[in-house]
Amino acid sequence: MPFKYDFRKRRNTFRKVMGLLSKTKAKMMIETGTSREGLKGAKSNGAATIVFGKWASENAAFLHSVDINEKSVANAQTEVDKQKLNEWVKIHESDSVAFLDAFADKVDFLYLDSYDYSSNVEVQKKSQEHHLKEFKAIENKLHDKSIVLIDDCDLPNGGKGKLVIAYMLENGWRIEEEAYQVLLVREDFPY
Ligand SMILES: C[S@@+](CC[C@H](N)C(=O)[O-])C[C@H]1O[C@@H](n2cnc3c(N)ncnc32)[C@H](O)[C@@H]1O
C-alpha cells in the first residue's frame, strides 16, 4: 500500500491483524460497515475494505463487506472496481445483523465497524448495542483461530466496542491488542 495512505491510529493494529491472518491462513473474512470513502478514507474511516481486500487478493482469501447505506455501498464498489479486487471482495447492501445472522460459513476474521459512534450519548449506546448484536449474530460461526477486530474503541464512554468486548471477555475471548482498535482472539489462540 503506497505510503501516502497513512493509516495513522489504525496502522499498527491493521499490520498486527494481517500478520495473524497469515499465520492462521485465514480464508473467510467479514467487515461490517464498508469503505464509504474508498481509499481516500484511509486517515478517517480506515479504508479497511481495500486493506483487507488487497490482503485477500494476495492470500487466496475472500472478504464480504456489508453496509446498510446505498451510497456507502456504491462508493466502496467504485474503489473495489478501481483496485481490481472484485474476485476477492463482495460488497453487500444489508443491515449487518441480518447479514451476519444468515451467513452460513465459518468466519476466520471479523471486523466490526458499522453503526457510527458520535458525541451524543444515546447514539453511543445504540452503536454499542448494535456491535454487540453483530457479534452475537455470528458468534456460532467463529472458531478457535478466528480473529476479531473492533474499530473506534478508544473514544469517550468506551467507543463501539464497550459492550461487545465485555461480552467476549466473559465468553472465552481475550484481548490481544488494545489501542484505538481492539483485537481479540480466543483464550487458547495458538499464535
Ligand atoms: C465508519 S463507516 C465504515 C468504514 C469502513 N469500515 C472503513 O474501514 O473504511 C460506518 C458504515 O457503517 C454503516 N452502517 C451503519 N449502520 C449499519 C447497519 N445497521 N448495518 C450495516 N451497516 C451500517 C454506515 O452506512 C457506514 O457506511
In order of start, what are the domains of the chain with their CATH numbers? 8-186 (3.40.50.150)
Q: Which of 42-51, 128-137, 171-180 has the lowest mean pLDDT?
A: 42-51
Of the pLDDT bands very low, low, confident and very high (cuts 50, 70, 90), residue 1 is low
Tell whether ligand 1 has an atom less than 6 A from the beta carbon of residue 159: no
Percent of the chain with pLDDT over 90: 91
**Atom in ligand 1 nearest the alpha carbon of residue 35:** 9
pLDDT (tens digit, 9 = 90+) per residue, 149-166? 999 999 999 999 999 999
Distance from the CA of 187 to the center of ligand 1, in angstroms? Answer: 28
Strands 28-32 and 173-178: unpaired
Would you say how long the chain is, in residues? 191
Distance from the CA of 142 to the center of ligand 1, in angstroms? Answer: 21
Residue with the bigger pLDDT between 8 and 183: it is 183
What is the SS3 string spanning the chain?
A: CCCCCCCHHHHHHHHHHHHHHHHHCCCEEEEECCCCCHHHHHCCCCCHHHHHHHHHHHCCCEEEEEECCHHHHHHHHHHHHHCCCCCCEEEEECCHHHHHHHCCCCCCEEEECCCCCCCCHHHHHHHHHHHHHHHHHHHHHCCCCCEEEECCCCCHHHCCCHHHHHHHHCCCEEEEEECCCEEEEECCCCC
| pLDDT attached to residue 15 | 94
**Atom in ligand 1 nearest the alpha carbon of residue 46:** 8
Tell whether ligand 1 has an atom less than 6 A from the beta carbon of residue 45: yes
* Average predicted confidence (pLDDT) for the chain: 95
Distance from the CA of 70 to the center of ligand 1, in angstroms? Answer: 11
Tell whether ligand 1 has an atom less than 6 A from the beta carbon of residue 31: yes
Tell whether ligand 1 has an atom less than 6 A from the beta carbon of residue 150: no
Tell whether ligand 1 has an atom less than 6 A from the beta carbon of residue 177: no
